[in-house]
Amino acid sequence: MKDNQGEKPLISVIVPTFNHEKYISDCISSLSQQSLSSLEIIVIDDASTDRTPWVVEDLAKKDSRIHFIRHPINWGMYRLAETCNQGLAHSRGNYIAVLEGDDFWPEKKLEIQLPSLIENEDAVLSHGLMALINQKGEAWIPPYRWSSEISKNQPVGSILKALLLGDNPVATQTAIIRRKFLEKSGGFHPQKYPLFVFDYPTWMELALLGPFIFVPQILGFWRRYPASVSAYYYEKLWQDHIQYTKLFIENHQDRLSQLSFDLEEYLKNYSCYALLDLAKMRVINKEWKEAKTDFKRLIKSFRLIARHRTNVLKFFILTLSLLLKKDGFSPLFRFYGKYKKFRGLS
């Protein structure tokens, strides 16, 4: 599938980037070298202060499918959804993907993933397994623990059982979205709420529109390192999840009540998984008063927390930590080698 100059591409890939000089070449190369070549690559540089723009411009000279947009001033991480919507406005493909400038795709991703999405016209998006890459280039594949009902969003809205609580079954690095549904939902979210992630707010909106497709293969690589936004602002991520999810519920009460199954328990205990992780971070930071306040709400949500062994373990350590007023998480992290290799993932 070749994309000739001026011919409409099948898929548009939006690449937000900021100071990714070390990684942007690998990111763009993983797109331009796809075995299915009918795509356009829209790179949006948020006023990088390193050599990122020059690397992109050099690559664009060699591949006409690369379109480069550079912000004259830094928009910042809290306008990431706006940056993605800027890319969407400049895109032409029937399918949309977002790949941040420090991540990358496997070579045959599109060849593997697109056919089923094209054939199933009611499917909103397709996603799959994701691998984590550390600074040494070592890979780790997290176990995918969500049910078929949730991963495929069937019946429609089912994935909200995870998203509302603080779980995200759709790895952004793997997702390809059907354009008409993305536009119907209003583009990438949030649009009027300062948030440095766009994935789970967007998946929440799309969850109300139709089924998803899940492909049980590695379809994206997520690079993790201490300076990465998701690692550095880990605590802020959970705080924002709690606030934004409350806002989402308030804005969609009617639509949520019309789903074919009962979401009452999930709505009542919204963000309890996020709150558990937030309480964990507060124990590590020795913020005992805040952690105790979180714990009181978590007790009421224990029925949902108990559905996953990892969460039960976190709850147990949180309880002991509060009783003894001693951080029980950090020693556990030091015990496991994964924490040393993938700092910030636990």
User: pLDDT for 141-189, tens place per residue?
Assistant: 889 999 999 999 999 999 999 999 999 999 999 999 999 999 999 999 9
Using the predicted structure, report yes or no on whether residue 2 has a pLDDT greater than 50: no
What span, in angstroms and rounded, lies between the C-alpha atoms of 107 and 105? 6
pLDDT in tens, 188-210: 999 777 787 899 999 999 999 99
Nearest to 198 by CA among 82, 281, 303: 82
Residue 336 pLDDT: 61
Whole-structure pTM value = 0.91
What's the average model confidence in pLDDT over 17-21?
96
Residue 78: band (very low, low, confident or very high) from pLDDT cuts 50, 70, 90: confident
Cα distances (angstroms) measured from residue 51 to each of 24, 60, 152, 155: 10, 14, 40, 47
Residue 192 pLDDT: 77
Coil, strand or helix at 269: coil
pLDDT higher at 290 or 346: 290
- The DSSP line for 174-189 is G-EEEHHHHHHTTSSS
What span, in angstroms and rounded, lies between the C-alpha atoms of 65 and 3? 8
Please report how the helices 272-284 and 234-251 are oriented relative to each other, as an axis angle in degrees rounded to 10.
Answer: 150
pLDDT in tens, 228-274: 444 446 788 888 899 999 999 999 999 999 999 999 999 999 999 99
Which region among 5-19, 24-38, 161-175, 322-336 has the lowest average model confidence (pLDDT)? 322-336
Q: Does domain 11-231 fall into CATH 3.90.550.10?
A: yes
Half-sphere exposure (Cβ direction) of 182: Cα atoms closer than 13 Å: 26
What is the chain's mean pLDDT, rounded?
91
pLDDT in tens, 97-129: 999 999 999 999 999 999 999 999 999 999 999
Residue 340 pLDDT: 47
Residue labelled with tokens 């994309």: 3
Residue 306 pLDDT: 95
Report DSSP state, residue 104.
B
Domain chopping of the chain, boundaries: 11-231, 232-341
